[in-house]
Structure 1
Amino acid sequence: MTMSMNRRSLLKLMGTGSAAMGALTMSGCTGSPSANSDFAWNDQANAIRARIVPPSFPSRSAVITEYGAKAGSGENVSDAIHAAIDAIAKQGGGRVVVPKGEFYTGPVHLKSNINLHIEEGATLHFIPEPELYKPYVFTRWEGTELMGYSPLIYAYEQTNVAITGKGTLEGGGSPTQWWPWKGKWKEADWGDHPVENQKFTRDVLRQMAEDQVPVAQRVFDENYLRPPFIQPYKCKNVLIEGVTIKNSPFWLVNPVLCENVTVTGVHCDSHGPNSDGCDPESCKDVLIENCVFDTGDDCIAIKSGRNADGRRVGAPCENILINACQMKAGHGGVVIGSEISGGVKNLYAQHCEMSSPDLDRGIRIKTNSIRGGHLQNLNYRHLRIGKVKDAIVINFYYEEGDVGQFMPALEAISIENLHVVEAKRAFMMRGYPHTPITGVSLKNITIEKAEKDSVIENVAEVTQENIVINGKAVVI
């Protein structure tokens, strides 16, 4: 197959009904996939799609300038935003509008029946001063619950909440604000601060979770855990649509324990440490569609809590639909884990395009015997990757290796109609000698060019059909 292949040949390769894939661009992938919401794999996928319905809101609205908000970096419009939210909520709900202009705020807490609408030409900047994000709220940080800094946009136990519009949300993360709390990271010159460093809070928090300390007591005077950008927590009927999200302190879109979530048309652009694009945690019925991810960490990562805390809460992430997204830079395109102790089931990902010299992995599952997790019914089809380091990764040795008591379990993992133009390696699959990787089906996988041999360790019960690497049929 050559780079000049025509559209008809591409559709034939990708399979009937894969018209969502356009011509080739971006280091081998061209164009962006158009929307195709056909989830007709089976009745279950169709039923999930039918259940996911975005919330609707009354027609009333309030513009934050009507409540005293003024544009400009010397202004803090937090009070005006919350006054507008309160006023609209008391009337039964509607839109709170951020109009064209540059506005600066602290955290925004949404209420039921509120749509925070960022107009085209508007930028809502979140002031990077940690004290503004207190008092602490009930939150999760890397899969562990605590009382921590408020997410930049937060909702707790609310129904019908949205963030919409064609404007921009600017998180204020930079080499001088928020990001240095990561500690040593890549080639960053901020070093590894002996005090202002997340590891000192993180390590204590994780031990508290192992010791089953109540969440209300997981409070830190010296807290260096960066807040996520958008985190609805225990909410129902969530919509995030159209906005551009930039320079997040931490993860960008992180719904936790939510039901009926739609993330559509969102552009994630953040290259700081842990800048995951969209991380649903322990959620049910989630659609991620027509989004662009250009991030410093995983583009989409499905999660369900870490270690003892994830098993205590015991809520899998389930019924996840991913459609027609574009993944550029990032650690992984569509990722499961690593905070996956509650398990994940029923994922359907299709018609996505991935490519970048900075994209590390296309499809990735990462866990270990401390995190564990039952991963079942994960389905991927009609995916197109231009340039990537590792195309398919299933790794039971992520970070801590094999030192725990909770073995990962894979069941009904299906990858079909995957085409990769260029990869350093086609596969990196590492199971345990005592718990090999099983339950995987690979069908119609083409890797035009792979520079290095695949890494295959302790893999069993893998169904294979039509795998072609460097022009040759192979059996892994």
Structure 2
Amino acid sequence: MNSKYLLLLFFTWVSFSQNSDFPSERVDSIVKRIQLPVIPAYQINVLKLGAKGDSITNNKKVFDKAMALCKKNNGGTIIVPKGIYKINGPIHFVSNVNLKIEKGAKIKFSDNPKDYLPMVLTSWEGTMLYNYSPLIYAESCTNIALTGEGVIDGEGGKTWKTFKAKEGEGKNRSREMNHNSTPISERKFGEGYFLRPQMIQFLNCKNILVENIRIENSPFWCLHLLKSESITIRGISYKSLNHNNDGIDPEYAKDVLIENVNFDNGDDNVAIKAGRDHEGRANTATPSENIVIRNCNFKGLHGVVIGSEMSAGVRNVFVENCKTAGYLKRGIYLKTNADRGGYIKDVFVRNIKLDEVEDCLYMTANYHGEGKGFQSDISNVHFSNITCKKASESGIVIQGFADKKIRNISLRNIEIKSAKNALSNENAENVVMTDVFIGQRAGVPSAVSKP
């Protein structure tokens, strides 16, 4: 090997080592440019408009009127005081509005699907289409907030729950339309297709705050940040254990701060997505990027997930100072397959404390073994200062393809005290491990025994 090649190898190694440190200055830059919504001084209390927090009266018209008054006044705060407010249908935001649900207040949505018609532009598992309205919905709004210490109940455990077993036809139709580039205006679902709506969705919105509220009993994904940017999610909590109850789903989202969240979900806590298959790959100009997740308590299926719908690409994800507060199947989970294409890169994870999980750190390019022709590119993923009490299955899993290897993975200061399978590293290159312990640490070697 000549000296020129050795020098090149040295500089490559130094560069990779430097880039594997957690880049706090990049996190600070993202957080600094995220703007909180600016809300005008106008306020309206829903009780003054005739609302009744008796858990029986339908307050749909009152909440619509409150939103219309805010629009007339160029924005304002809608105050929901103590009580249980039944609403038979969705709340649709306008710009410059804070919906403040005070402590002791609960908004309880109906579970009659007809209440969420007419259909609106939305997305379902990575494909844009028209479907039932999300329960709380904003499209093309700026400066919007959902705050207070109250509860939003999506009533997802009865009628909506039955949709899961019947969603196959609608799901397959949506994917065919995605693959065939069917115009979005022709992608009409709603009645007869059983695709459940999200609890809260912000579509094409900017300067968003969701703070301190509690989310319970969602029909589908809980909080969907779709094609939106400059987003702050903090201090919220969950108890939502129905099918596909992801906590937070940033999708085609940019500049997102998620902090101090207490998760308790029937699916992923945070699932970062970026569109699906052909449609996602056509939107590479809008990847999900610049996402900061910190100081959260994980409980549910998986902690932080990237994928599987990530075809436009995911980059610049920073996860730090999080821990488990109960059961978690997988801690950090990167999942994609040969249908997706796109990329996952520049992911930094540090200071994570996991209790008992099935798998601690899991990266796979062969999720469900599906697809062909569009292998994803996974590179530059860095883990440091991670502890796990027990992995009942695998400690660390890395699965690439022989002709599309996962690249540039660093693992530093990782301690998994017990694991059925310690390490599975397949079709990966430049995997650097420093101070990685799986199982009991080896001590000083013993002397040779005397015969």
TM normalised by structure 1 equals: 0.86
Q: How far off is 1:399 after superposition?
A: 2.1
- Aligned residue number for residue 409 of structure 1: 377
- Aligned residue number for residue 263 of structure 1: 233
Matched letter for residue 61 of structure 2? D
2:349 to 377, 380, 383: 380
Where do residues 194-233 of structure 1 align in structure 2 (5 Å cutoff)? 197-220=166-189, 221-233=191-203
Q: Contact between 2:422 and 2:438, CA under 8 Å: does it hold in 1?
A: no
Tell me the alpha carbon deviations over residues 402-443 of structure 1, each in whole angstroms, 9 at most, x when there is no partner: x32111112211110111111122112221122222121111
1:151 to 134, 150, 156: 134
1 CA distance for matches of 2:184 and 2:229? 22
Higher relative contact order, chain-length normalized (CA < 8 Å, sep 6+): 1
Q: How far off is 1:309 after superposition?
A: 1.6
1:277 to 244, 247, 269: 247
- RMSD between aligned residues: 1.6
1 CA distance for matches of 2:441 and 2:412? 15
2:277 to 307, 311, 314: 307
1 CA distance for matches of 2:368 and 2:116? 31
2:426 is the counterpart of 1:443: no
2:117 to 123, 134, 145: 134
| C-alpha spacing 1:154/1:429, structure 2 compared with 1 (3 Å) | same
1 CA distance for matches of 2:176 and 2:131? 16
Question: Is the radius of gyration larger for structure 1 or structure 2?
Answer: 2
Q: Contact between 1:355 and 1:388, CA under 8 Å: does it hold in 2?
A: no
Q: Contact between 1:40 and 1:46, CA under 8 Å: does it hold in 2?
A: no
2:36 is the counterpart of 1:70: no
Where do residues 286-325 of structure 1 align in structure 2 (5 Å cutoff)? 286-314=256-284, 315-325=286-296
Matched letter for residue 41 of structure 1? P
Q: Contact between 1:355 and 1:387, CA under 8 Å: does it hold in 2?
A: no
Tell me the alpha carbon deviations over residues 276-314 of structure 1, each in whole angstroms, 9 at most, x when there is no partner: 001100111000000011111000011000111212233
- Aligned residue number for residue 161 of structure 2: 179
2 CA distance for matches of 1:318 and 1:473? 40
2 CA distance for matches of 1:473 and 1:129? 60
Q: Contact between 2:53 and 2:82, CA under 8 Å: does it hold in 1?
A: no
Q: Contact between 2:22 and 2:348, CA under 8 Å: does it hold in 1?
A: no
Q: How far off is 1:355 after superposition?
A: 4.6
| C-alpha spacing 1:396/1:40, structure 2 compared with 1 (3 Å) | closer
Q: Contact between 1:367 and 1:398, CA under 8 Å: does it hold in 2?
A: yes
Q: How far off is 1:123 after superposition?
A: 0.5
Q: How far off is 1:344 after superposition?
A: 0.6
1:423 to 381, 385, 391: 391
1 CA distance for matches of 2:325 and 2:431? 26
- Aligned residue number for residue 27 of structure 2: 45
SS for the counterpart of 1:438 is strand
2:210 is the counterpart of 1:237: no
* Worse overlay, 243-252 or 443-452: 443-452
2 CA distance for matches of 1:473 and 1:378? 30
2 CA distance for matches of 1:162 and 1:473? 52
- Aligned residue number for residue 92 of structure 1: 74
1:123 to 98, 106, 124: 106
Q: How far off is 1:44 after superposition?
A: 2.3
Matched letter for residue 230 of structure 1? I
| C-alpha spacing 1:335/1:259, structure 2 compared with 1 (3 Å) | same
- Aligned residue number for residue 86 of structure 2: 104
2 CA distance for matches of 1:112 and 1:56? 10
1 CA distance for matches of 2:187 and 2:129? 5
- Aligned residue number for residue 4 of structure 1: none
Tell me the alpha carbon deviations over residues 86-135 of structure 1, each in whole angstroms, 9 at most, x when there is no partner: 10221121111111001111200000001011010000001001001011
1 CA distance for matches of 2:423 and 2:325? 19
Where do residues 337-416 of structure 1 align in structure 2 (5 Å cutoff)? 337-356=307-326, 358-401=327-370, 403-416=371-384
Tell me the alpha carbon deviations over residues 165-203 of structure 1, each in whole angstroms, 9 at most, x when there is no partner: 0000000011x32012111xxxxxxxxxxxxx1111110
| C-alpha spacing 1:288/1:128, structure 2 compared with 1 (3 Å) | same
SS for the counterpart of 2:250 is coil
2 CA distance for matches of 1:389 and 1:178? 29
SS for the counterpart of 1:422 is strand
Matched letter for residue 124 of structure 1? I
1 CA distance for matches of 2:441 and 2:103? 50
2 CA distance for matches of 1:55 and 1:169? 21
SS for the counterpart of 2:421 is coil
Tell me the alpha carbon deviations over residues 10-31 of structure 1, each in whole angstroms, 9 at most, x when there is no partner: xxxxxxxxxxxxxxxxxxxxxx
Matched letter for residue 369 of structure 1? A
1 CA distance for matches of 2:199 and 2:282? 25
- Aligned residue number for residue 18 of structure 2: none
Q: How far off is 1:73 after superposition?
A: 3.5
2 CA distance for matches of 1:400 and 1:207? 19
SS for the counterpart of 1:92 is coil
User: Can you give the 5+ residue segments of structure 1 that lack an aligned partner in the other structure?
Assistant: 1-38, 184-196
- Aligned residue number for residue 3 of structure 1: none
Q: Contact between 1:163 and 1:239, CA under 8 Å: does it hold in 2?
A: yes
2 CA distance for matches of 1:376 and 1:395? 13
1 CA distance for matches of 2:358 and 2:160? 29
Q: Contact between 2:235 and 2:261, CA under 8 Å: does it hold in 1?
A: yes
Q: How far off is 1:40 after superposition?
A: 7.7
- Aligned residue number for residue 300 of structure 2: 329
Amino-acid identity (%): 37
Q: How far off is 1:400 after superposition?
A: 4.1
2 CA distance for matches of 1:265 and 1:82? 27
Q: How far off is 1:42 after superposition?
A: 4.2
